[in-house]
Homo-oligomer: A and B are copies of this chain.
């Protein structure tokens, strides 16, 4: 990977993701930071999300209505997606979630690195 410099905006994007549990899209992040960073551009948000994802600082948890949604909470947990309003909420199992990657043997896989478990339904507000 390419070496990184410090970037005020990348920091802001990352901290915003850390501080929220809404699992935002690029656009939500853009709109949230725009007041404080009037010269922020959407391209920068996209670029930094990809970069942070590459770093392992952040991960994409789902694509809802065609929009990639991100999370900076990297402890193992899964998500519930409301089919109606698109809200994403965290789902924790008792204690921590099992490491399923160690529990499956997949013929076609040389290496199973991670997994993503998503529940779908209707949320209490819909």
A114 within 8 A of B: yes
A106 within 8 A of B: yes
Asked whether, in the complex, the Cβ of A114 is within 8 Å of the Cβ of B121, the reply is yes
Asked whether, in the complex, the Cβ of A115 is within 8 Å of the Cβ of B120, the reply is yes
The interface size bin for chain A is 20 to 34
**How many copies of this chain are found per oligomer?**
2
Asked whether, in the complex, the Cβ of A91 is within 8 Å of the Cβ of B106, the reply is yes
Complex alpha-carbon distance, A68 and B114, angstroms? 20
Per the 8 Å Cβ criterion, residues 34-91 of A in contact with B are 63, 80, 82-83, 87, 89, 91
Asked whether, in the complex, the Cβ of A108 is within 8 Å of the Cβ of B123, the reply is yes
A104 within 8 A of B: yes
Scoring A residues 82 to 126 as 1 if CB is less than 8 Å from chain B, else 0, what string do you get? 110001010101000000110010111111111111111111101
The smallest beta-carbon distance between A1 and chain B, in angstroms, is 16
Residues of A within 8 A of B (CB): 63, 80, 82-83, 87, 89, 91, 93, 100-101, 104, 106-124, 126
